[in-house]
Amino acid sequence: MLETLRHIVQEVNAAEGLGDALRIIVRRVRDAMGTEVCSVYLREPATGRYVFRATEGLNQDLVDQAGLADGEGLVGLVAVRGEPVNLENAERHPDFCLLPGIGEEQYHAFLGVPIIHQRDVLGVLVVQQSQQRRFDENDEAFLITMSAQLAGVIAHAQVAGAVQEEALAGAGAPAKISGVAGAPGIAIGTAVVVSPIADMYAVPQRKAENRRQEVRAFREALQCVAVDIQTVADNLGAELSPEDHALFDVYLGILDDSTIGAEVVGLIKAGQWAQGALSQVMIKHIRHFERMEHSYLKERAVDVKDLGTRVLAYLQEADKQELMYPDQTILIGEELTASSLGEIPREKLVGLISVRGSGNSHVAILARAMGVPTVMGAVDLPYTMLQDRELVIDGYNGAVHLNPLPQVKRRFQEVVDQDRALTRDLESLRDEPCETLDGHRMPLWANTGLMADVTRSLEQGAEGVGLYRTEVPFLLRDRFPSEEEQRQIYRNQLEAFAPKPVTMRTLDIGGDKSLPYFPIEEDNPFLGWRGIRVTLDHPEIFLAQVRAMLKANEGLGNLRIMLPMICNVSELDEALDLIHRSHREIQQEGVKGELPPIGVMVEVPAAVYQARALARRVDFMSVGSNDLTQYLLAVDRNNARVADLYHSLHPAVLQALCDVVEAGAAEGIPISICGELAGDPEGAVLLLAMGYDVLSMNATSLPKVKKALRNINLSEARELLREVMEMEQAGAIHQRMEQFLTEHGMEKFIHNPVD
Ligand code: PEP
Ligand code: MG
């Protein structure tokens, strides 16, 4: 059964569009189950009707014509119940409803299972048989497994199909694809798809601007690959027999002008750009070989893929130099990274969409710092088809809108205008203190990483840096920066803010931050080799970094050093020893300066429970609520599928936040917070009430938080905290916080979805 399932899913995954996928499903399921009929009904979102979309065994002429209203017939019953319906004799069931002309009169046995994707019923998969019998348990289990596996593929193909149809028809129906809110704001712009290097399955579809030039580029890329392969063959020289040499010729022949090469050129001449034409033709041939039963021929798929990948790499290299970004670029990628953001001129970038990742992935945090509206985890987005398309992205609610209706677009434009007005309004607060109505001062610091954050943070009136993510400059290089290079980078940060304090966190790689030149591949990266664990295992990296920080601090004295991912006291003791050692060493080398304040991040539950023991050893502590939330709730911050469960206002998280402040107070050290919660007005109000000494956040959030805290009294925030700590559910707490903001004239900070 497993093998059959795997084959079907593989074939469906390789289908060309939804129609093809559904035809494969009904044919293969009918064969695998040995039934007479298999059909798929899919829900039409606009009407709620279940449309007869594919069949083996019933009347093909009614495909896409016939259908059942919501709740109508046995198909409707399966959908409403969200459970299988297994009947010996379908027509005896009170809900049975015969679709005229469909030809199911002679079939008695009926088994229907719902197709459910992310809690939504997409449709119903049905098998039928003329013999009066109940399908047995195995049949039921098989069909349920099949439907669960196919649901994601169907959801994806549905959206992709809609986009393709639209593209063919010129204009199309509006479509809204849900993802996860990444960075707040609305962006209206033109899509630019960034493709991963040499991945044929992620090549954006685009028209050729100059067909002749594209053909030339393709032929040149072919030539380069031919030379590469010839070089390999020559190098192996004597080790190869004449037969082996002949294999190389066959290999090269695959792409020659009379075969696959000619097909690619044909497509380019018909208007496709070279990369698109190449990938389309190669994928078709790969699928063809993969479907073959004979293992030798099946293996040829690997050769075709390898050749295609090589040619694509050359084409991408050539196109890279020519890439032009439109004025309002929305960058889309399978998995955007910090370096992909660095390649586009900032003034042209208005929005970001990442198919993978979630709201607390590091790329989303960077986007928030840059103030670029972002949607993450848009897993159903057929992104390779969106090149040059006009899109609207809603970074408040995590949605992408294709072909929005004029009134929807107008509504979004209004939100953009309101946001601009709010930003202007907030600018006037720049030099005002962050002080509550009853006179409590709350220092607001900034989180930095990119050099651009420095200017931005100063412009927004940051009173210090609560978290400088030192891994960001490491991520943007192709090797570890030397001690001297680091010293200069750190010096720039310290000088820009002096005499304001700058908290530099030692390298926090691992998790979703992997350096291209130091890859860490693990099954559970967030529970693996990460943060302080890596640097304690590589003291040479840690020492060089600390030495660079201490040297950069000479004559300024505004450095603070902070240690990430501390889980136990011995990690902290070890790290402190290394810092003291570095300090002694550089003093012996003649560098002047006191040992700076040293702090730990509290970002794993163990550190919450041991907060007092940790506090006794350091000068300050800072809560990393992004990781603390992920580890307390066991929700991967990078996984869009569980994003709904990632609640920073979860009662357990709030309790942990209170406990850390209490521990800090008991040991007499200041406690700050540098997770994203500090930059959320709802979070900031509660953190103020808990007694946090400093809130550190991305520069973009700073004015909003200042506005929120200047609008309230500490006493009422404390009252609210008491109320909220009695609540048992994150949703209720969030609602109460929205109500509180509204009551205090801050309804502009609340953004509901536009449909
Ligand atoms: C955190 O975990 O809250 C934090 C500030 O660190 P990072 O987001 O870089 O992991
Ligand atoms: Mg962290």
- C-alpha 94 to ligand 1 mean position (Å): 58
Q: How far is the CA of 200 from the centre of ligand 1 (A)?
A: 34
Distance CA 36, CA 133 (A): 13
Say if ligand 1 is within 6 A of residue 675 CB.
Answer: yes
The closest of 459, 447, 457, 493 to 626, measured between CA atoms, is 447
pLDDT at 322: 64
3-state SS assignment for residue 116: strand
Query: In percent, how much of the chain has pLDDT > 90?
Result: 63
3-state secondary structure of 176: strand
What six digits make up the tokens of 166?
A: 């639209």
Measured from the alpha carbon of residue 565, the closest ligand is 2
In CATH, the number for domain 2-169 is 3.30.450.40
Q: Is 627 in the pocket of ligand 1 (CB under 6 A)?
A: yes
- Residues designated as active site: 362, 674
Find the Cα–Cα–Cα–Cα dihedral 606, 609, 612, 616, rounded to 10°.
-10
**What 3-state class would DSSP assign to 568?**
coil
Give pLDDT, residue 163: 64
Q: Find the radius of gyration of the CA atoms of the chain.
A: 30
Counting ligands in written order, the one closest to the CA of 566 is: 2
Ligand 1 atom closest to Cα of residue 564: 6
What would you measure as the largest C-alpha separation in the chain, in angstroms? 95
CA gap 270, 268 in Å, rounded: 5
Alpha carbon separation from 163 to 393, 401, 412, 467 (Å, rounded)? 16, 11, 21, 42
- Give the pLDDT mean for 143-163: 83
Residue with tokens 């018909």: 270
Spatial separation of the C-alpha atoms in residues 648 and 724, rounded to whole Å:
13
pLDDT given for residue 344 in this prediction: 83
Residue 547 has pLDDT above 90, yes or no: yes
Asked if residue 469 has its Cβ within 6 Å of ligand 1, the reply is yes
* Both structure tokens of 459: 């412009």
- For the chain, helix (H) and strand (E) counts, in that order, are 26, 22
Which residue's CA is minimally distant from atom 1 of ligand 1?
Answer: 624
Cα separations in angstroms, 26 against 147, 191, 226: 11, 36, 43
Indicate if the pLDDT at residue 745 is higher than 70. Answer: yes
Of the options 3.20.20.60, 2.40.160.150, 3.20.20.70, 3.50.50.60, the CATH number for the domain spanning 438-747: 3.20.20.60
| Residue scoring higher pLDDT (583 or 364) | 583
Q: In terms of DSSP bridges, do strands 502-505 and 465-469 run parallel, antiparallel, or are they unpaired? A: parallel
Q: How confident is the model at residue 380 (pLDDT cuts 50, 70, 90)?
A: confident
**Which helix H or strand E contains 177, and what residues bound it?**
strand 175-178
Rounded-to-integer distance, Cα 565 and Cα 570, Å: 13
Alpha helices in 624-729 (DSSP H): 625-633, 651-667, 681-690, 702-710, 714-724
Pick from 74-83, 191-200, 578-587, 590-599: least confident: 191-200
Amino acid at 608: V
Closest ligand to residue 513's CA? 1
Q: What confidence tens digit (pLDDT) does each residue in 334-352 have?
A: 888 776 777 788 899 999 9
Place of tokens 């990781």: 627
Are 485 and 581 a contacting pair, CB within 8 Å?
no
Query: Which two structure tokens, joined as six digits, stand for 521?
Result: 């591949």
What span, in angstroms and rounded, lies between the C-alpha atoms of 427 and 458? Answer: 12
Q: Is the CB of 626 under 6 A from ligand 1?
A: yes
* 681-690 and 714-724 helices, crossing angle to 10°: 100
Work out the average pLDDT over 643-662.
97
Could you tell me the sign of the dihedral formed by the alpha carbons of 62, 63, 68, 73, in that order?
A: positive
Tens-digit pLDDT profile for residues 409-461: 999 999 999 989 988 889 889 899 999 999 999 999 999 998 888 999 999 99
* Least confident segment among 187-191, 227-231, 598-602: 227-231
Do strands 50-56 and 67-68 pair parallel, antiparallel, or not at all (unpaired)?
antiparallel
CA–CA separation, 340 and 688 (whole Å): 36
Ligand 1 atom nearest the C-alpha of 360 is: 8
Cα 626 to averaged position of ligand 2 atoms, centre (Å): 6
Ligand nearest to the CA of 626: 1
- pLDDT for 606 equals 98
Please give the angle made by the CA atoms of 37, 43 and 46, to the nearest 5 degrees.
Answer: 150
Q: Residue 749 carries which DSSP code? A: G
Nearest atom (ligand 1) to Cα of 362 = 8
Q: How many CB atoms lie within 10 A of CB 232?
A: 11
Report how far residue 557's alpha carbon sits from residue 66's, in angstroms, rounded to the nearest whole number. 76
Query: What is the average per-residue pLDDT within 297-319?
Result: 81
Q: Is the dihedral of CA 569, 570, 571, 576 positive or negative?
A: positive
**Tokens 């039928």 correspond to what residue?**
128
Res 225: pLDDT: 84
* Ligand 2 centroid distance, CA of 385 (Å): 35
pLDDT, position 363: 85
* 629 close to ligand 1 (CB < 6 Angstrom): no
Task: Give residue limits of the domains in the chain.
Answer: 2-169, 175-194+325-421, 200-318, 438-747
CA distance 631 to 687: 20
CA 168 – CA 166 distance, rounded (Å): 5
Distance 702 CA to ligand 2 centre (A): 20
Instruction: Starting from the CA of residue 503, give the closest ligand.
Output: 1
Q: Which of 448, 508, 657 has most ligand 1 atoms within 8 Å of its beta carbon, as the pocket-test mutant?
A: 508
The more confident residue out of 618 and 281 is 618
The torsion of the CA quartet 38, 43, 47, 53, rounded to 10 degrees, works out to -40
- What CATH number was assigned to the domain covering residues 200-318? 1.10.274.10
Task: Round to whole Å and give the CA distance between 157 and 379.
Answer: 11
Q: At what angle do helices 274-290 and 295-320 cross, to 10 degrees?
A: 170
Rounded Cα distance, 502 and 662, in Å: 24
pLDDT at residue 490 above 80?
Answer: yes
Does 471 have pLDDT greater than 70? yes
End-to-end, the C-alpha distance of the chain in Å comes to 43
Find out whether the beta carbon of 361 lies less than 6 Å from any atom of ligand 1: no
pLDDT of residue 169: 57
Q: Which residue has a Cα nearest atom 6 of ligand 1?
A: 624
| Contact by Cβ (8 Å): 628, 604 | yes
How many other CB atoms are found less than 10 A from the CB of residue 557? 14
CA of 674, closest atom in ligand 1: 5
- For 665-722, the pLDDT digits (tens) are 999 999 999 999 999 999 999 999 999 999 999 999 999 999 999 999 999 999 999 9
pLDDT of residue 321: 62
Ligand 1, from 448, 507, 601, 687: best to mutate by most atoms within 8 Å of Cβ?
601
| Bond before 753 cis per omega within 30 degrees | no
pLDDT higher than 60, residue 735: yes
In this structure, the strands spanning 620-623 and 598-602 are parallel
Helix H or strand E encompassing 329: strand 329-333
> What are the tens digits of pLDDT across the range 190-229?
999 887 777 888 788 788 888 999 999 998 888 888 888 7
| Nearest-atom index, ligand 1, CA of 603 | 2
DSSP track, 399-419: EEEES--HHHHHHHHHHHHHH
Q: Is the CB of 624 under 6 A from ligand 1?
A: yes
Summarised one tens digit per residue, pLDDT across range 567-582 is 999 999 999 999 999 9
Could you tell me the strand order of the sheet in which 50-56 lies?
Answer: 67-68, 50-56, 37-43, 120-129, 109-117, 85-87
Instruction: Report which residue type is found at 502.
Output: V
Distance 101 CA to ligand 1 centre (A): 61
Q: What is the pLDDT of residue 504?
A: 98
In which residue are the tokens 């803010």 written? 497
Centre of ligand 2 to C-alpha 475, Å, is 16
**Tokens coding 258:** 């009379």
pLDDT at 172: 67
Distance 514 CA to ligand 1 centre (A): 15
In angstroms, the CA 711 to CA 442 distance is 13
Backbone angles phi, psi at 272, to 5 degrees: -80, 150
pLDDT value at position 478?
82
3-class SS letters over 724-746: HCCCCCHHHHHHHHHHHHHHCCC
Q: Give pTM, 2 decimals.
A: 0.83
| Tokens (6 digits) for 234 | 């020559």
| Per-residue pLDDT at 247 exceeds 90 | no
Mean pLDDT of the chain: 90
Residues 6 or more apart in contact with residue 612 via CB below 8 angstroms: 663, 666, 667
pLDDT at 115: 96
**Left, alpha or beta for 86 (phi > 0: left; psi -120 to 50: alpha)?**
beta
Cβ atoms of residues 275 and 315 within 8 Å: yes
pLDDT of residue 387: 86
Which pLDDT value is given to residue 226? 82
Is the Cβ atom of 630 under 6 angstroms away from ligand 1? Answer: no
8-state DSSP, 583: H
| 291, burial (CB in 10 Å: exposed 0-12, middle 13-18, buried 19+) | middle
Question: SS in 3 state form for 456-525?
Answer: HHHHCCCCCEEEEECHHHHHCCCCCCCHHHHHHHHHHHHHHHCCCCEEEECCCCECCECECCECCCCCCH
Helix (H, G, I), strand (E, B) or coil at 117: strand
Q: Between vectors from CA 436 to CA 432 and to CA 442, what angle results, nearest 5°? A: 70
- Report the distance separating Cα 701 and Cα 490, nearest Å: 24
Residue 555 pLDDT level (bands cut at 50, 70, 90) = very high
What is the CATH topology of the domain spanning 175-194+325-421?
A: Glucose Oxidase; domain 1 (3.50.30)
